[in-house]
Homo-oligomer: A and B are copies of this chain.
Amino acid sequence: MVDGFQIRGTTRLMGIIGDPIAQAKTPATINTIFSAGGVDIACVPIHVPVQELETVWAGLKGMPNLIGFGITLPHKQTALELCDSLDPLVKRVGAVNVVRRERDGSFRGYQFDGKGFVRGLRANSIVIETREVLLLGAGGAAVAIAFALVEAGAKSVTIANRTTEKAQVLADTVNADFGRIVAKVGPAKPTTGQLVINATSLGLNDQDALPLDPDLLRPGMTMAEVIAQPETTRLLAEAAARDVETHSGIHMIKGQVGLIADHMCDIWG
């Protein structure tokens, strides 16, 4: 933390709830942002076992100097029911990752996975506009990213998923939402110049199968990850070995933290 950071009686609190919570990197990262901006907010880890979620939630609501909290496993889905209101993106993705105390005191759920991913790409100077995207996976992360990429100007999104039906549902939802055919289902076969994104959980463990045959990757493509740990997945290493531009999942995390800090400061900074 930068020099001069100090918790005082006036300091507002932002939590991050999860079980376990010891692994959370958000407090250290976001406090550096708050501190650098001269904002009197401190982010603290709050360990919340599943059976305590409702009780702790009510308690957090009763603390007027608590301005909101990030949500990590295993509460991302169950938190939906506890929010007083939800940003539309939360319902689409089916997961909340931030709750903010609004001006009226209510707790509203937000979802920053997709926007965080886009911000991470931009921070790494990776072009999205007019780009064709191959999205691997159709789960929560893929849904968030599909919407955010189209919103950010991607030309098309091809969704490749083991269960084709799930990919089709996502493509249909995106197309319906944007009122044009921008998403479609396809195989895990990248074409020239594509931005390829692994939004599956394959790669979290080193023994996982690769979500894509790396021999299909060519220079001019970008291979991006949602997985942040390991920072360089086996797929990214294979891509780099083939002179393909790579983009670690760590950038998504950093992008998200920056967005969340801004979002909190919009009301409470």
Task: Please give the residue numbers on chain A whose beta carbons come within 8 Å of chain B beta carbons, in ascending order.
Answer: 1, 3, 5-11, 13, 16, 21-28, 31, 42-49, 52, 55-66
Contacts and interface: CB of A to CB of B under 8 A. Distances in A.
B7 A43 contact: yes
A65 B43 contact: no
Contacts of A43: 7
Contact of A64 (B49, B55, B57): B49
Given A46-B63, A65-B46, A9 B31 contact: no
Contact of A42 (B7, B9, B10, B21): B7
A58 B48 CA distance: 12
B9 A21 contact: yes
B55 A59 contact: yes
Contacts of A47: 63-66
Contacts of A56: 59, 62-63
A70 to B, nearest CB: 11
Given A52-B62, A62-B52, A62-B59, A1 B6 contact: yes
| Copies of this protein, total | 2
A25 B52 CA distance: 30
Nearest to A13: B44
Contacts of A7: 1, 27-28, 31, 42-45
Contact of A25 (B5, B9, B16): B9
A46 B13 contact: yes
Nearest to A27: B7
A28 B24 CA distance: 24
Contacts of A44: 7, 11, 13, 42, 44
A106 to B, nearest CB: 15
Nearest to A72: B9
A23 to B, nearest CB: 5
A28 B1 contact: no
Nearest to A46: B63
A144 to B, nearest CB: 23
A47 B31 CA distance: 20
A43 B44 CA distance: 10
Nearest to A61: B55
8 contacts: A9-B24, A11-B27, A52-B62, A55-B61, A56-B59, A57-B59, A58-B58, A59-B59
